[in-house]
Amino acid sequence: MSLVVVGRVAASLALGSVLLVGCARFDDSASSPFTPEPTLHGANIDPKKPSQSPTSTTRPSGPCIDPDPAVVATCLDTTGGLVALPDGALVAERRTGRILKVVPDQPPVEIARLDVDGSGDGGLSDIALSPTYNEDGLMYAYITTGSDNRVVRIAEGGSPKDVLTGIPKGSSGNHGAIEFASSDQMLVLTGDAGNPGAAASAGSLAGKLLRVNSPVPGRTLTPEVAVSGIGTAGDVCRDSKDSIWITDRTAAEDRLQRLGGDGVVTTMWTWPDRPGVAGCAAASDGVAISMTRAKALAIAAADPTTHAVTATPTLTAQDKYGQLGGAAVGADGTIWVTTVNKTDGQPGPFDDRVVRIPPPQAGGGGPD
C-alpha cells in the first residue's frame, strides 16, 4: 500500500482505449511501498473517531456532502481499488474506469480514465503505483476488457501498455488485485472466472496468485504461480516483514491466507459464514479486511513472530457505512475504506463513499 505525495499536471490526452485526464505525477521521494507500515493498534487512536479532525471546524451541508466527518468522498460510482496517500487517497471506480484523488474537504480530482468492461463484477478492480513512481511516473491497473482480464501500465504522456494479458474472463469471478513484492516483482491475484476447476488447473491463469518479474510491456512474460485455488479474488497486500496476505471467497468459506518468504502458503483464518471478505491492508501487527455482506471492517491481529492469527478478528464500524470494498492503511494507522453499496447493496444518498475508520485500540474491542 504505497504512501506517496501527489502532485498534478494539468493535461488531458486521448489514449485509444485509455483516456488520461489531468495526468498526475506522484512524488514518493519521502516514502515507498517498501517502508515499514504503521501499526493497526495505535495507543493514541480513539476508536470512536478519526485520528485526524477535518480541516474545517464546521461541516458544510448540501448534495453529496455527508455529515459524518469520517467520510472523505461521496457520490462516487461503485468503487474498486484504493491507495492511501499522506494527504488523501487514490480510488478507482470499477464500472466507469475512473481513477480519482480524494482529499478531505475537497472535491475529487480525476487522474485517469480507462476503457473497461464493467459488467458483472468486472471493470477496474485495482490500482498500484510503481515502487519508483517519482522516477518513472508509472501506474498499474487490473482491468476487464471485452475479451479478457489483464494488467496494464499507464505512463505519463504515453500510450497505455499491456503488461499481462489473457487472464480468463467469465460471467463472474473477474475481480483481481495487484501489489509489488519488490522493486522488480509484481504480484497479481486473479479470480477463478466463475470456474473453480480453472483455479486448480496449472494451465490457466485464473484463480491464482502470480509472480511477474520485471513487468515490462511488450516483453513476453511467463508468470510464476505462487498460489493456486483462489476463488473469488479479494485482495493481496504486503506487510513490512515481507509477508503477503491474500483474501478470497470460495463456495465453502471466506479465507485469509498468508504467503511467507519461504513460499509456503498458510490459511490463517476462515469464515464459514462467508461475510464477503474484500480489500485488505497489512501492517506490522495485523491485517484490516473490508467485508461486504458483514458490512464491517475486520481487524485480524497477527503474532509478530509467528504471524499466526489466533483470536477472532474484531469487527468495527459494523452496519455504519454499508458494504465495504477497498482497504488501505494510512501513516497514522487509520484505515481508509471504500463502500460498494451501489452494486448489490442498498445505496444511501451519499454512496458510494471513501471513509476513514480508526482501528480498535490494543486490547480493546468489539464492534462500534
Output phi, psi for 244, to 5 deg. -105, 125
Cβ-contact 239, 221 below 8 angstroms: no
What pLDDT is recorded for position 205? 97
In the block, which residue shows the cell 504467503? 259
Is residue 39 very low, low, confident or very high in pLDDT (cuts 50, 70, 90)? Answer: low
* Number of helices (H), then strands (E), in the chain: 3, 28
| Helical (H) or strand (E) element with 232 | strand 232-238
- Mean pLDDT, residues 29-49 taken together: 40
pLDDT in tens, 156-184: 666 788 999 999 999 999 999 999 999 88
Max mean pLDDT range (7-11, 137-141, 230-234): 230-234
Cβ-contact 283, 330 below 8 angstroms: no
SS3 at position 142 = strand
C-alpha cell at 277: 471478505
Is residue 109 very low, low, confident or very high in pLDDT (cuts 50, 70, 90)? Answer: very high
pLDDT in tens, 265-307: 999 999 999 999 999 999 878 999 999 999 999 999 999 888 8
In the block, which residue shows the cell 448489490? 344
Neighbour-count burial of 349, counting CB atoms closer than 10 A to its CB (0-12 exposed, 13-18 middle, 19+ buried): exposed
DSSP 200: H
- Mean pLDDT, residues 32-44 taken together: 45
| Residue bearing the bigger pLDDT, 296 or 12 | 296
Nearest-angstrom CA–CA distance, 80 and 92 = 5
Q: Strand 138-144's sheet: what is its strand order?
A: 124-129, 138-144, 149-155, 161-167
Average pLDDT, rounded, for the chain: 83
| Helical (H) or strand (E) element with 342 | helix 341-344
Q: Which segment of 10-19, 90-99, 102-111, 275-284 scores lowest on mean pLDDT?
A: 10-19
Query: Which residue type occupies 280?
Result: C
Chain-centre distance for alpha carbon 6? 18
Is residue 242 very low, low, confident or very high in pLDDT (cuts 50, 70, 90)? Answer: confident
Cβ-contact 226, 209 below 8 angstroms: yes
Nearest-angstrom CA–CA distance, 246 and 199 = 15
Please report, for residues 1, 49, 84, the alpha-carbon distance to residue 129 in angstroms, rounded to integers and kept in the order given.
Answer: 9, 29, 11
Nearest-angstrom CA–CA distance, 172 and 166 = 16
Q: Is the pLDDT of residue 365 over 60?
A: no
Sign for the CA dihedral angle at 32, 33, 36, 42 comes to: positive
- Mean pLDDT, residues 193-200 taken together: 95
C-alpha cell at 162: 499491456
Of 201, 253, 203, 263, residue with least CA distance to 232: 253
